[in-house]
Structure 1
Amino acid sequence: MTTPRFDIMGQALGDSSRNRMLCELMQGRAYTNKELASAAGITAQTATAHLRLLQQAGLVIAEKSGRCVYNRIAGPEVARALEQLATVTPMDSLHRAQLRKAGALAPLRSCYDHLAGSVAVALAQAFLTQGMLIPDSGGYRAVPSEQWTKLGVCLPDGPARQPFARPCLDWTERKPHIAGPLGGQLMTHGLKVGWYKHQPYKRGLLMTRAGTQALAQIMGLDPDPPKESSASCMI
């Protein structure tokens, strides 16, 4: 019987600088060693050693493009595991502590390739309440609706190899947001049309006035646009 090497994973996660770099990579973007070193406040040489350990643990992969080497999260499964691992980290006063430590990340952020945070959780709840999503075999079945088109979502024509939408437990809200291809389309479309915008070297997303108005008109939500903050970032 093969025994999972939790010790290797624990070693990889047991450093604040490596946690900071993983947090940057949870945007779903790829960064060079130098860029991640800057984000973590360490030297490029130290960052290279940290990244090598993360690669050995299977959390990060490195890809060469021209003269540069770019690092990224090893895949959506790793991103989901990191997001959900954060839900069991020790906290001093549960939800309030989560929100305080998340800072500007709490309202809206990227969870690898999909939206997370209180806005994303509110969207997921609205989809279920309005019957646009129906729980099905551990995932969600999307019901045809004109609302999907307005949100930039194209529903699959038939059964897919993986669930089109699935719950991903949000580490600040402790409720599910939407992952899977549907979640990816929601974030991609929102960024494309300017509903949200990235913060440089931060996982947090800023919601624009257009995004606030769009979610209010399409889904009846009234999210408060996140404000920029220098708050620390957690996985």
Structure 2
Amino acid sequence: MTAKDPRAAPLASLASLIADESRAACLLALLDGRAWTAGELARHAGVAASTLSEHLGKLVAGGLIAEERQGRHRYVRLADASVAQLVEDLASRLPPAAGRPVRGLRESSAESAMARGRTCYDHLAGRLGITITDALTRRGLLRQDTGFALTDAGVEWFGAAGMRLDPPGRRPLARACLDWTERRPHLAGVAGAALCRHALEAGWCVRVGSARAVKVTPSGERELSALLGIPSSALS
């Protein structure tokens, strides 16, 4: 008789943390990379504050989220980039028609904005993320043939563009993240985070509303066209 893999029970326990609709809603909301208060997450998930507190306790104990207190407020965020990758990878496995029906024009517009461009934890996703990833690849700055990797020219390009590549540590310099709307990989990792951070700080992109959606500004269109040869029509 073959011995049971000792990882089976911990894996089942981890899966059970996500296998709750309210906790899943919290994890998806935290993909925006911000710290949320417990009250904000309770309203987002549509549950009572006391109920959400129980959910958050389980997610903290399971190592999926981290919490900090400032005065009377309790803030929570995803524990690290690997948790964001786990949630995004699971979301990308959903069938295209998964989720509740869109109820009106406002919700439909929000969904369209998310599909056009959004943040995925700390990097760009949606059609915008795919467009930039493809442009980096065409210019020989990023390789996708043997997994995602910046070329020497790519490392130089990031530096020349003023995008600081922090020491990767345990995090890869470049990583493929499967886009859940486009069903293709976009750039994540240290380089993806640097590009997203610079795009927001330099005003190339701005956030749209309170969601994760972002849009490219006119200055962003000019800069991305000059740096990567992306036509404005592909960014608007």
Does the alignment reach a TM-score above 0.5?
yes
1 or 2, which has the higher helix percentage? 2
Question: How far did residue 168 of structure 1 move?
Answer: 1.3
For the Cα contact (< 8 Å) 2:92–2:180, is it kept in 1?
A: yes
Aligned runs of 1:175-190 on 2, under 5 Å?
175-190=184-199
Match of 2:15 among 10, 24, 36: 10
Partner SS for 2:116: coil
- Aligned partners of 2:218, 2:150: CA distance in 1, in Å? 30
Aligned runs of 1:29-108 on 2, under 5 Å?
29-92=34-97, 102-108=111-117
- Aligned partners of 1:19, 1:152: CA distance in 2, in Å? 36
Amino acid at match of 2:115: A
- Aligned partners of 1:170, 1:220: CA distance in 2, in Å? 22
Q: Percent identity of the aligned residues?
A: 36
* Gapped regions of structure 2 (runs ≥ 5): 99-107
For the Cα contact (< 8 Å) 2:142–2:148, is it kept in 1?
A: no
Partner SS for 1:29: coil
Match of 1:117 among 126, 130, 140: 126
Amino acid at match of 1:56: A
Match of 1:195 among 176, 200, 204: 204
Residue of structure 2 equivalent to 1:134? 143
Residue of structure 2 equivalent to 1:153? 163
Describe the superposition over 1:47-91 as per-residue Cα deviations: whole angstroms up to 9, x where unpaired.
Answer: 212222322333212122343221010110110111111121234
Partner SS for 1:127: helix
For the Cα contact (< 8 Å) 1:124–1:178, is it kept in 2?
A: yes
- Aligned partners of 1:55, 1:155: CA distance in 2, in Å? 29
Which protein shows a greater Rg?
2
Amino acid at match of 1:152: G
- Aligned partners of 1:102, 1:11: CA distance in 2, in Å? 28
Q: May I ask how many residue pairs the two structures share in their alignment?
A: 218
TM-score (normalised: structure 2): 0.79
* Gapped regions of structure 1 (runs ≥ 5): 94-99, 226-235
2:169 corresponds to 1:169: no
Describe the superposition over 1:6-27 as per-residue Cα deviations: whole angstroms up to 9, x where unpaired.
Answer: 4333333233332322222111
Question: How far did residue 179 of structure 1 move?
Answer: 1.0
Residue of structure 2 equivalent to 1:220? 229
Instruction: Report which stretch shifted further, 206-215 or 79-88.
Output: 206-215
